[in-house]
Chain A
Amino acid sequence: MADLITYREAVAEGIAREMRRDPSVVCLGEDIGAAGGVFKTTVGLLDEFGPGRVWDTPISEQAITGAAMGAAMTGLRPVAEIMFSDFLACCWEYLANEIPKVRYMTGGQVTVPLVVRTANGGGLGFGAQHSQAVENWVFTVPGLKIAAPSSPADLVGLTAAAIRSDDPVVVFEHKGLFASKGAPAPPDHVVELGQASVIREGSDVTLVALASTVRTAVEAAERLAAEDISVEVIDLRCLVPLDVRTVLASLERTSRLVVVEENPYQGGWGGTLVSLVADEGFHLLDAPIKRVASACVPLPFADALEERVIPTADGVADEIRALAAY
């Protein structure tokens, strides 16, 4: 079996594969060149592709996203890095008002094939301004696609699909997963946007997860297997397009749904998912739907506090036990 690679290495691998394939792919962001990125996710790109395709920028989140947009409208496929997803607030104008709207409001005259990639989420003790899971911010905006991979191979495959997409895609790379390892992606690996993956089959409860919560979900499922509760784990992989069909198909087997999200319960993506299930799959359900999400507080610093806020495998397992007994 081939050596495992880290999620961190998969970032650069995914980008490099596309840069080799398509000369219109260019990268920009703070410290992404010689420094290789603050998370070392762009190591090697400058060496391989040179300064004409890997551009260090000033600390100008608006200029980064705005310039990426202008370049995407005029023939390039920019991959813009926003170092921490919290900083999307500094260029929210482009994510909320410009990039998703320009094609629509011009009646389809322009396309914006760009990728914004950003390190998302908590678990590393970076405190309230460098730890949030903000995929739900982007999920509020029609016109943006969203990928949030949980494994190195998916990261490569979704990065390929995101860069090839003629639509704008925000790729959330999870900070807590950078050091995790997995099988390398096969050559030419592309994971189509909007296809969830059933990563563990089960018959009692469907557990839907995304990015870092996939690990949490699998841990909970393994624990419950020992108690004879069979949990099906679905990794959504993308929020837009949202693969509702895979969730509904799973519910035909399990009739019970738990969703585990890292973003806060308040306004979290699970709210939209479960409302669709309630609308379209109510007849499939034998129990109430449960959402396990982060507590509605800013992310605290100390480990003992952070652990109380972000969903844990224990917490998820408790919810599933209660639901299985319903």
Chain B
Amino acid sequence: MTAASDSPASTGAALGATELLALYEQMQVIRRVEKAAHDLFMSGLVKGTTHLAAGQEAVAVGASAALRPDDYVFATYRGHHHALARGATPQECLAELMSRATGLCRGKGGSMHLTKASTGMLGSYAIVGAHLPMAAGAAWSAQLRGTGQVAVAFFGDGATNIGAFHEALNLAAIWRLPVLFICENNLYMEYTPIDTVTSVTNPAADRAVAYGLPGHVVDGNDVVLVHDTVAGAVSRARAGEGPTVIEARTYRHYGHSRSDPAKYRPADEVERWLAHDPLTLARTRLESLGVAAAELDEAETRASGIVDDAIDAAKNAPEADPAEAFTDVWADGGNTWRT
């Protein structure tokens, strides 16, 4: 796949073989969690809906590797990979999907709202585009508190056509906020090809110029390129030079949601993108860096073990406590609205 790439020179530390191997293992974990989510949904153990990110792992993992632990991430309903990349465990993610008491949100969130605030993953939001202004606000807060933190909003190509995207970019630009807007352009908004409903070729990056912001298009399946591009934008943000828009071209391996077979995508397109798998790309890179095949296999085995254990643990966890329905409306933990 030839996605145009014009990454800025990274000022973050370049990824060595050891770091890359760790990212590879993380991507393997995510791939397997997504497969588990899919299978568990099909077998009725996951209710409601799922939006899987298999195929898009490199965006989350590459970007997270360029962030500090105290930076803020805001993601969408297609956010399992971001929660996992930002420190949520496979067990607590799968448990949430399966409505268990041990889930990340104790059964109050579900697949679309995975959140782990304690590790800077400030939520997954299911109203398209709504979290971009929030990320700008978190960046504003970091700027005012002088902490050097940055905020990142991950969103889909479809989100670039909603007003909140434009309001957020403008506000972030005029206030020079330390925020990154990272679009995962997977070519489709639900079942509609994004290029049929968007006035420009690169839905996010081409809009950046309208707000006087740098906009980069990067191969979102190349974890190293994603990392380097994000690292460059992060150091810009920390230096007080303002926001960056990054458009990572990628592809989802499953359908839009639930059991969508994604028949609306042309076979040759699917084939091309499956051949450009972020995991294969990373593995090839690691091999060229001299990492032994046995070491790579070991990482895969570890990932597989972690996820298998997580599935078992989630299955064996108690159901969410029905009393949870009435907690956490207010900061005092309760739900009292009247005397």
Chains A and B are bound partners: yes
Contacts of B142 in A (CB 8 A): 74
Does B328 reach chain A (CB closer than 8 Å)? yes
> How near does chain A come to B89, taking the closest CB pair, in angstroms?
15
Does A223 reach chain B (CB closer than 8 Å)? no
Contacts of A74 in B (CB 8 A): 72, 122, 137-138, 141-142
- Interface size on B (CB < 8 Å)? 55
Does A194 reach chain B (CB closer than 8 Å)? yes
**A63 with B140: in contact, given A107-B105, A108-B328, A246-B339 (CB under 8 Å)?**
no
The stretch of A95-103, A122-130, A208-216 that contacts the partner chain: A95-103
**CB distance B171 to A105 under 8 Å?**
no
Does B272 reach chain A (CB closer than 8 Å)? no
Q: Which of B106, B118, B136 contacts A67 (CB 8 A)?
A: B136
> How near does chain A come to B20, taking the closest CB pair, in angstroms?
31
Task: Give bound CA distance, A70 to B138, whole Å.
Answer: 4
Does A241 reach chain B (CB closer than 8 Å)? yes
Q: Which of A55, A58, A106 contacts B117 (CB 8 A)?
A: A106
**CB distance B123 to A110 under 8 Å?**
yes
Task: Give bound CA distance, A75 to B122, whole Å.
Answer: 13
The stretch of B9-17, B27-35, B162-170, B223-231 that contacts the partner chain: B162-170
Task: Give bound CA distance, A169 to B181, whole Å.
Answer: 29
Contacts of B141 in A (CB 8 A): 70-71, 74-76
Chain A contact-residue range equals 35 or more
**CB distance A67 to B134 under 8 Å?**
yes
Does A65 reach chain B (CB closer than 8 Å)? yes
Known: A62-B167, A105-B113, A110-B115. 15 other contacts (CB 8 A): A26-B144, A63-B164, A63-B170, A66-B131, A66-B167, A67-B136, A70-B140, A71-B140, A73-B138, A98-B134, A111-B331, A113-B331, A143-B330, A241-B336, A243-B338
Which residues from chain B sit less than 8 Å from chain A, CB to CB? 72, 74, 103-109, 113, 115-118, 122-123, 125, 127, 130-142, 144-145, 151, 163-164, 167-168, 170-171, 174-175, 324, 327-333, 335-339
Which residues from chain A sit less than 8 Å from chain B, CB to CB? 26, 52, 55, 57-58, 60, 62-63, 65-76, 78, 93-94, 97-98, 102-111, 113, 142-143, 165-167, 194, 240-246, 276
